[in-house]
């Protein structure tokens, strides 16, 4: 080998090394810039989540998803800068994602329902609700299942996909409930006497709210009796105490005022010819 060929080979080697060093330097700068951008974007996401009260419960999950997506995007950018074909990687990941989503279809629908519940907040822990045909007190709200405790101390796990799609009745959210009861009295009993007896029963319960004020009205003239409707408001937690207390107190009150609690009957009158 001549001296010129040797010198030419050395120069080409130095040139290739310089190119490799330049590529590595660009890659390092790209990774550093990507890390900085990811941190800035995550801080922005954290700030947005902290300002939103509805997203507070799922803020950690949203941040994790955003963080994984940003790092995955950075890996693709770095791979593309190094000359690695990313199209095949994306296609492979798409196929894998489709297969996983089909295998976990029910689980993913439950997760989506859980996020909807945590964001919209139709109920919270401690509320008494009816959802998907089940009634009970909410014990916990997870991403996949919501747990209710029934009045007879049964623990029920309901998939969030069913809860999110069902009609939800929240008996606790508004803080107070209306108790509506109907009683029948004889036509012979004066209306004011019946209302007075019912009013005495209501006065025995301090749980009944003064605003809105209790009301007693005639609701129906039946075949054998007059129906009176009683409407009172109470705190949601006192609903059943007031309901059963008034029910048990009306009969003694009617007896004191000599009011007959009639039932459906038929009077037959025989006429002599």
Q: Are residues 95 and 21 in the same domain?
A: yes
Q: How far apart are CA 138 and CA 81, in angstroms?
A: 52
pTM, 2 dp: 0.59
Residues 98 and 126 in one domain: no
pLDDT of 19: 46
Q: How confident is the model at residue 112 (pLDDT cuts 50, 70, 90)?
A: confident
Does 244 map to a domain?
yes
> Residue 6 pLDDT > 50, yes or no?
no
Does 61 share its domain with 11? Answer: yes
Confirm whether 266 is domain-assigned. Answer: no
Q: Assess whether 91 and 18 both reside in one domain.
A: yes
Over residues 205-254, the pLDDT tens digits come to 999 999 889 999 999 998 888 999 999 999 988 999 999 999 999 999 99
Considering the domain architecture, whether residues 12 and 72 belong to the same structural domain is answered as yes
201 is in which domain, residue-wise? 176-256
Phi, psi of 172 (to 5 degrees): -110, -25
Tell me, what's the pLDDT at 47?
78
- For residues 29 and 147, give the distance between their C-alpha atoms in angstroms, rounded to a whole number: 50
Q: Provide DSSP, 179-226.
A: EEEEEEE-TTS-HHHHHHHHHHHHTT-TTB-SSSPPEEEEEEE-SS-E
Residue 217 lies in a domain: yes
If asked whether residues 7 and 99 sit together in one domain, one would say yes
State the CATH number of the domain containing residue 242.
3.30.70.100
CATH, residue 152: 2.30.30.60
Q: Is residue 75 located within the same domain as residue 7?
A: yes
Report the domain count for the chain: 3
Of 82, 103, 124, the one marking the end of a domain is 103
Q: Do residues 181 and 158 both lie within one domain?
A: no
126 and 97 in one domain?
no
Is residue 229 included in any domain, yes or no? Answer: yes
C-alpha to C-alpha distances, 127 to 60, 221, 241, nearest whole angstrom: 24, 39, 17
């Amino acid at each position: 080998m001549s001296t010129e060929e040797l010198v030419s080979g050395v120069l080409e080697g130095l040139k290739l090394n310089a190119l490799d060093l330049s590529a590595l330097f660009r890659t390092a700068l790209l990774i550093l810039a990507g890390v900085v951008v990811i941190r800035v974007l995550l801080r922005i996401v954290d700030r947005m989540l902290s300002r939103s009260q509805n997203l507070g419960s799922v803020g950690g999950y949203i941040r994790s998803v955003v963080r994984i997506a940003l790092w995955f995007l950075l890996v693709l950018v770095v791979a593309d800068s190094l000359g690695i074909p990313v199209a095949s990687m994306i296609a492979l990941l798409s196929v894998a994602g489709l297969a996983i989503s089909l295998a976990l279809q029910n689980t993913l629908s439950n997760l989506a329902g859980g996020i909807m519940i945590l964001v919209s907040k139709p109920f919270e822990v401690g509320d008494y609700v009816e959802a998907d045909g089940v009634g009970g007190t909410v014990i916990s709200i997870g991403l996949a299942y919501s747990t209710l405790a029934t009045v007879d101390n049964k623990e029920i796990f309901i998939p969030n996909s069913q809860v999110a799609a069902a009609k939800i009745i929240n008996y606790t959210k508004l803080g107070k409930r209306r108790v509506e009861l109907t009683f029948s009295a004889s036509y012979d009993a004066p209306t004011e006497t019946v209302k007075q007896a019912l009013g005495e029963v209501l006065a025995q319960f301090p749980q009944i709210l003064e605003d809105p004020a209790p009301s007693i009205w005639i609701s129906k003239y039946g075949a054998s009796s007059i129906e009176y409707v009683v409407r009172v408001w109470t705190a949601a937690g006192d609903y059943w105490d007031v309901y059963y207390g008034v029910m048990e107190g009306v009969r003694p009150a009617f007896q004191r005022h000599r009011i007959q609690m009639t039932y459906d009957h038929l009077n037959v009158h025989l006429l002599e010819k």
